[in-house]
Amino acid sequence: MGVLSALPLIYLGNLCCCLWVVSGGVVAAYVLQQNQAGPIAPGDGALVGLLAGLVGAGVHFVLAIPIDILMAPMERAMAQRFIDMTGSMSPEMRDMFDRMSGSNVELSVGIMLIRRVVGFMLMLFIGAIFSTLGGLLGAALFRKPAPPAVVDVTPGV
């Protein structure tokens, strides 16, 4: 969940009802069910889904920072090309795009870190909710049948 949510363009899957977050909870419940002999309870699925959401938010935070650093030059070049293509732009608009294109690197890094910390908080909150729902869904989907009850019949006297 965290890796898919941090990758460029792939993260757009979260726009579809938090697809990667819910999937992380479902996969966590599946793995828990495979490691149990009997069926898991819905509460177990919810708990493992919650933990998957919290860990996924941390993984997303750790991976998104280097990806942002690697992608920043390409984003700046695309913004500069956009500015160059719009020759009839008013000076105020051009000035605004120049400021947004990241000419001040220290300011850009600061803004990126603030954006990532706010994103981390959102992923913690949203990830906790939706991955818990995914864990409940996974517990229901992958529930093993209960083992048959063993009745001990001893011959009567």
Comparing C-alpha atoms, which of 59, 61, 54, 63 is closest to residue 129? 54
- The whole domain housing 117 covers 2-141
- Mean pLDDT for 20-48 is 93
Q: Is residue 115 part of a domain?
A: yes
- Mean pLDDT for 114-130 is 90
- Residue pair 21/130 in contact by the 8 Å Cβ criterion: yes
At 129-156, the pLDDT tens digits run 999 999 999 999 999 888 787 877 787 6
Q: Is residue 104 part of a domain?
A: yes
- Mean pLDDT for 17-23 is 85
Q: pLDDT band for position 4 (50/70/90)?
A: low
For residue 88, the one-letter residue type is S
What pLDDT was estimated at residue 101?
A: 59
Rounded to whole angstroms, the Cα distance separating 103 from 140 reads 52
Domain count, the chain: 1
What pLDDT was estimated at residue 104?
A: 53
Q: Is residue 147 part of a domain?
A: no
User: Phi and psi dihedrals of 119, rounded to 5?
Assistant: -60, -40
- Mean pLDDT for 24-34 is 95
Q: Is residue 149 part of a domain?
A: no
- Residue pair 4/111 in contact by the 8 Å Cβ criterion: no
Comparing C-alpha atoms, which of 55, 67, 78 is closest to residue 128? 55
Crossing angle of helices 42-85 and 105-141, rounded to 10°: 150
Rounded to whole angstroms, the Cα distance separating 56 from 25 reads 10
Q: Is residue 78 part of a domain?
A: yes
Q: Is residue 116 part of a domain?
A: yes
- Residue pair 64/4 in contact by the 8 Å Cβ criterion: no
What is the pTM (predicted TM-score) of this model? Answer: 0.73
Q: Is residue 113 part of a domain?
A: yes
- Residue pair 20/1 in contact by the 8 Å Cβ criterion: yes
